[in-house]
Amino acid sequence: MRHIMWLWIALASSLAWPAERPRYGGELRVQLRAPLRTLDIAARPPDPADAAAQGKVLRQVFETLVEMDDRGAVLPALAATWTHDAPRKRWIFTPRPNAAWHDGQPVEPSYFPDDRPIEQLLRELSQPQHAVVRAGADHPPLGTGPFRIAEFESGRRVKLQAHTGHWAGRPFLDTVEFAVGRAWREQSLAFDVGNADVVEIPWNEFRRSHQRPFKVMQSRPTECISLFFDSPKVPPNVRDAVALAIDRSSIHNVLLLKQGEATGALLPQWLSGWAFTFPALRDVARAKRVAPNATLTFAYDKQDALLRAIGDRIVLNASEASIALKPAAGPSADLRLGLLRLNGPDPLAAVREVAGLFRLPPQDDAYALERLLLEDHRIVPLFHLPATYLVSTRVRNWQGNWVRSDNWRLVDVWLDRTQ
């Protein structure tokens, strides 16, 4: 009897305190470190970090016909179905019912020749650069996504406004304002004084105290701290020697506090499944034999505390192998330390994007392409780290927006404007 009484009390409590429901309205304020200089989705920035920032913004505006989930399965997106035409020479992608451009015009079916396997076509169409876009002479590019472009200042800001005619229903947010090209310190100060809702932050700084309540959100490892040989004049034996000289284990334990993963692979294990086949080995004696007394110019962002600490340790590691790394006098250098952002969930698309930086011809085998990139040490992966963000507690359903590939989906995010 007593147990039944408690059940009635619990039931009454659940009725008296209904679950919090999403609310419409408000502006989400986001700050990003990378600049956004163009709204042309086909003009991919050469820097992977810039390309990742561009993708975060434009993914809210331009939709692909199909998309890939976190397991790599192809799902309908703007297109509800795809089928052959009567002669079986073309694929017809039929849009969702009520799908409309941002100016209200209906979306017409898309046609593609049936000259390759459908799996290959679907994989290609799921990539952001193949999103459905309609250019305009007197207005920003039009898409079909949950937000449309309202204002744009190259390298400074872009403002998105809710697309009320979206085929899945209008988003909860009225607007999203992206302030771009903001240094980490600027982002942190804006967050502290309440001028930003979502900011990037180096993963090793999120433990510091803040005056405002916040949530820390991290993706799976999607960032790769790497060494890049920008100069083609550096011979292969010197590149090999530098790769052998790096003490990843020490840097990972001391500077990274064992966070993330030390790696010799470009793609993280969760994305490719084969990262363990590219071991990260240190062999100082062999490095000395391969390229004794080599001298290179070395560049890294000294305003970035984490890269500066890792860069200084790499200089020390190289000196132990009789390799001198001298500060670069100008923007060009033989060797550069930087951050590479890898977009999932498709391993082939991710490694192709990196291969494009080195002007390698595209391949259909992701593992073979990664091995080609790593064999001659054009790029030397060091550590895989998660992308880390501070999110204000007034931002709701960010967890639902969070996927392991760090591809944002803001259509379901809403704001608690009572805070």
Would you say residue 8 has pLDDT above 70?
A: no
Q: Checking DSSP bridges between strand 198-200 and strand 214-229, what pairing results, if any?
A: unpaired
**CA separation for the pair 106, 115 (Å, rounded):** 28
Helix (H, G, I), strand (E, B) or coil at 19: coil
Residue 3 Cα distances to 10, 16, 17, angstroms: 11, 20, 21
**CA separation for the pair 230, 211 (Å, rounded):** 42
Confidence band, pLDDT 50/70/90 cuts, at residue 408: confident
Same fold, 23-61+145-213+393-419 and 220-388: no
Measured in whole angstroms, the distance separating CA 239 from the mean position of its chain's CA atoms is 28
Helix (H, G, I), strand (E, B) or coil at 219: strand
What CATH topology corresponds to 220-388? Dipeptide-binding Protein; domain 3 (3.10.105)
Q: Tokens 């404007």 label which residue?
A: 417
Could you tell me what percent of the chain has a pLDDT over 70? 89
> By mean pLDDT, which of 39-43, 379-383, 403-407 is the weakest?
403-407
Q: Region 73-77: what's the mean pLDDT?
A: 91
How much is the CA Rg of the chain, to the nearest whole Å? Answer: 24
Query: Per residue in 313-323, pLDDT tens?
Result: 999 999 999 99
**Confidence (pLDDT) at 116:** 86
Helix axes 347-357, 48-58, angle to 10 degrees: 130
**Confidence (pLDDT) at 17:** 39
Confidence band, pLDDT 50/70/90 cuts, at residue 95: very high
**Confidence (pLDDT) at 381:** 97
Bridge partners for 375 per DSSP? none
**Confidence (pLDDT) at 405:** 60
Angle, vertex CA 110, rays to CA 108 and CA 115, nearest 5: 165
Tokens of 130: 């193949």
The domains of the chain are located at 23-61+145-213+393-419, 63-126, 220-388
The residue ranges of DSSP E strands in 110-265, in sequence order, are 110-113, 147-153, 157-162, 175-179, 198-200, 214-229, 261-262
Q: Region 363-387: what's the mean pLDDT?
A: 91
Query: Per residue in 124-162, pLDDT tens?
Result: 899 888 999 998 767 788 999 999 999 999 999 999 999
Could you tell me what percent of the chain has a pLDDT over 90? 53
- Which residues, in sequence order, are CB contacts of 361 under 8 Å at separation 6+? none
DSSP notation for 34-48: S------TTS--SSH
Residue 273 Cα distances to 203, 345, 366, angstroms: 24, 12, 11
**Confidence (pLDDT) at 325:** 95
Confidence band, pLDDT 50/70/90 cuts, at residue 206: low
Tokens of 372: 């080609």
DSSP notation for 250-266: HHHHHTSTT-SEE-S-S
Confidence band, pLDDT 50/70/90 cuts, at residue 205: low
**Confidence (pLDDT) at 277:** 95
HEC string of 286-316 equals HHHHHCCCEEEEEECCCCCHHHHHHHHHHHH
Would you say residue 271 has pLDDT above 80?
A: yes
**Confidence (pLDDT) at 107:** 96
Would you say residue 32 has pLDDT above 50?
A: yes
**CA separation for the pair 171, 154 (Å, rounded):** 25
| Domain at 23-61+145-213+393-419, CATH from 3.40.50.720, 3.40.190.10, 3.40.50.920, 3.30.420.40 | 3.40.190.10
Quickly count: other Cβ atoms within 10 Å of residue 22's Cβ.
12
